[in-house]
Amino acid sequence: MTAKKNAKTVWALLSCIRYQEVLVLQGTPLMGMVFSVGNLTAHQIPAIVLFGLASFLLVAHIWSLNDWSDAREDQGDVNKASGAYSNKGIDPSMMLWFSIALLSTSLGLFALFALQTLLIAASIALLGFLYSFPGIRAKGVGLLSSVPHFAGGLLHFLLGYSLFASIDRNAMLIAPFFSLVFAAGHATQEVQDYEADLLSGTRTNAVVFGKKPVFLAASAGFGLAYAYLPCLAMAGIVPARIGLLSSVLFPLHLYWSLQTPRGGLEFEQIGQLRRRYRALFALIGLDMISMLFRWH
């Protein structure tokens, strides 16, 4: 009976992982690997698979720590209450230990790679701690809440890059693209969660400065990201085709962004925009994967 109960608890904990969000965030370290791997060979596959598992567990830890910290707020949010871990028979202490277990396993796997990879992974975990942990909780401080995401975008790219190469000039020049996307995406999410954060007293950028100003700032951040890739292409750091694709996709993103405020920047409208621009950045990512092996 105990074994059955334990298995049920483990299953409940695993169901608390935000698989979609965690998988989406694997795109950035994947791009880092693409830029550093050169010509892919069969003997590199095991390292990539192990790295992918470690990266998945690291991001799962960050999300689970955030969910543990936001338990009270999520219960009061009609858009999140049904998926809250407390509704799955998980108590706060269990959720916290689950998050710690995810982190420990992740760092244990990263320790099998180069020291630079482990240190970057630990730095990402530290950013998640500063963002979510009660008493620090940068999430609830206007402007400061965007810093972990800007730095996180850079570190997630460097994490993947460090798997097959030392961090060099090219890596540091490409990484800001992902920083801009991370920070702009986070600001957009804050606009989407505005009502719930206002109700709970969480002082995000959207709560402090208003939905529209933050939405415009996020749109400007995305615009800078789209403009940055052609600059990298002109400098010969990324293939010209990637810069061209970015220029072609930007007007579509801009059009959708201009249409969204007409719906009042409500939860569903922002959610639709997020799904759309994620698809655009996925196209850029696929282009990076398909082009770089021929480009090297």
pLDDT of residue 77: 65
In which domain, by residue range, is 111 found? 2-295
Confidence of residue 4 (pLDDT cuts 50, 70, 90): low
Q: Are the C-beta atoms of 179 and 154 separated by less than 8 Å?
A: yes
Residues in the chain: 296
* 171-204 confidence digits (pLDDT tens): 999 999 999 999 999 999 999 999 988 988 889 9
Average pLDDT over residues 102-112: 98
Average pLDDT over residues 83-108: 90
Reply yes or no on whether the pLDDT at 277 is more than 50: yes
Average pLDDT over residues 80-100: 84
Confidence of residue 296 (pLDDT cuts 50, 70, 90): very low
Q: Of 139-143, 206-210, 219-223, 230-234, where does mean pLDDT reach its minimum?
A: 139-143
Type of residue found at 139? K
pLDDT of residue 295: 45
Question: E strands within the chain?
Answer: none
We report the CATH number of the domain holding residue 148 as: 1.10.600
DSSP for 229-283?
A: HHHHHHTTSS-HHHHHHHHHHHHHHHHHHHHGGGGTS-HHHHHHHHHHHHHHHHH
pLDDT of residue 12: 87
Comparing 15 with 162, the larger pLDDT belongs to 162
* 217-271 confidence digits (pLDDT tens): 999 999 999 999 999 999 999 999 999 999 999 999 999 999 999 878 999 999 9
pLDDT of residue 294: 56
Does the CA dihedral 30-35-36-39 come out positive or negative? Answer: positive
* 35-83 confidence digits (pLDDT tens): 998 777 888 899 999 999 999 999 999 999 999 988 777 666 666 666 7
Q: Mean pLDDT of all residues in the chain?
A: 91
Q: Are the C-beta atoms of 117 and 111 separated by less than 8 Å?
A: no
Average pLDDT over residues 271-290: 94
Domain count, the chain: 1
Confidence of residue 118 (pLDDT cuts 50, 70, 90): very high
